[in-house]
Structure 1
């Protein structure tokens, strides 16, 4: 917290004691930061070692250890960020190695927002303003996945001369009488097998968006899709 000059004591000895107390507090903070940085470095080394051990073999124990270390690392990084936010702005920040920021990928879609100066004339003399240049900065944003409902409307038509009725055939579905499209099934399978998101976690994520997809329904649908894909793959291999 910054010190209000009006709160400073007039006595020299009291001022010396205050300076010494602040120095001790800063030293404690620096030691705590050093310990936290060392623990972060050790966690990174342990995670790298476990990932090398994990390569080529499947072990739930290794997965749990990596997940626990990753969680602890995230907590430490969050604490470090919170400590920097709450630090005294007048205090000298600790010297840290500046990370080299990589440019954002060129293939990502860009949404350009042009910000013009509010003043239409020079605020100093009232003269006409002319273009001088521009400063460009980029931020990374994400558009969260959202659900939509595809409503299939099959209109019927009747012959004006006889009783014949015609109607388009219903489109096929990955799972008979299932509500999920092929795209949703693919999303669920990729999240489960590639991103290691169990079905119960996916169900909780979807519930936050107001969609009730219970684990049993997703499990049965995924099993049918995997079975269908296996048959299709065998047919392609045989031909």
Structure 2
């Protein structure tokens, strides 16, 4: 019964979109690949970018533990990676990707350059959000004998959380956009699907389908991000 219902639904979708069963199956796979790249890259970006942002804020000249030289070095490295266009970074990291993954083609291989491209981007966004925390609150916790860890855990992160969520939402959307670009060199996902079956086969309808799907995905993520940011904003 369930299999029959799924077959009927797939047939309806295929007829509505004017896709063959093969192209519909490939579309499902492309959506799954894009979701995998987005989820993995977003996770790596969060656990990589947020600690670096905290380091930059804490070691700033007016930070909790100033370390100007270390701060400057890390800041320069972040700026260098942010200034490299993604498509160039994607190609330049092919040897690194091949060394780590064993191949430079496919969904898993694209996750590494995607993460390296988006970590510096999110780092700067998170840094701005953390710097916007009211210094009066930090000074009050210091006056009460609060440690650096207490200030980070009880003041910096909670107060900056709405901005961090909004910035992370923008970063996820960026990941979706550049993951589509990664399809030009063999990564999976909707970008590859649009290029292979849309552009190369002169199927403008397939390109339109992919565009609509990306718009829906991005709009949904933006809505969820805005909702969460409002929920945690107690100002």
- Higher gyration radius (CA): 1
- Common fold, TM-score beyond 0.5? no
State the TM-score, normalizing by the size of structure 2.
0.30
**Greater RCO between the two (CA within 8 Å, min separation 6)?**
2
